[in-house]
Copies of this chain bind each other. A is one copy, B any other.
Amino acid sequence: MNLDKMIEVGQLFEQYKDLLTEKQREIVSLYYEEDYSLGEISENLNVSRQGVYDTLKRSEKTMKEYEQKLHLVSKLQKQEETINLIKDRIVDIRCTLSERKECMDLIPELEKIEEICRGIIE
C-alpha cells in the first residue's frame, strides 16, 4: 500500500473514527491499522471483497468531507508545529541552573496540549 495514503487515512481515522459506523470503523482499522489485505478482511468478516473495497472507499470519502468542514487534521498539525517551536525556544532560554528547571518543566505541560487534542487525555 502507498505509504502517503496510509498516513493520510490514519490521520483522518484518528480524528473522525467516531463519526463512522461500527462496520466502517472495523474495516478501516483492519485495513489501515492492522495491515490486513482486502481478501483477508473479506474472509474474516464474511463480506465480499468488493463490499470491503466499497466500505473503505465510502469511509475515506466521509472522513475527507468532514475534514473539509472541520479541518481537525490540519489544525492538529499546526498546533504540533507551534508546540514544537515553543519547546525549541524554551530549551534555548539561557537561565541559571535553578530557573532552568522551571523552564524545562514547561515542556511536559506543552505536550499535554497535544495529547488533549489527540484524545489521549480525556
Contacts and interface: CB of A to CB of B under 8 A. Distances in A.
Interface of A: 15, 18-19, 66, 69-72, 75, 78-79, 82-83, 85-86, 89-90, 92-96, 99, 102-103, 105-106, 109-110, 112-113, 116-117, 119, 121-122
A78 B121 contact: yes
Given A70-B72, A71-B119, 4 more contacts: A79-B116, A82-B112, A93-B95, A95-B99
3 nearest A-B residue pairs (beta carbon) = A18-B69, A93-B102, A78-B116
Contacts of A72: 70, 72
Contacts of A96: 95-96
A19 B19 CA distance: 12
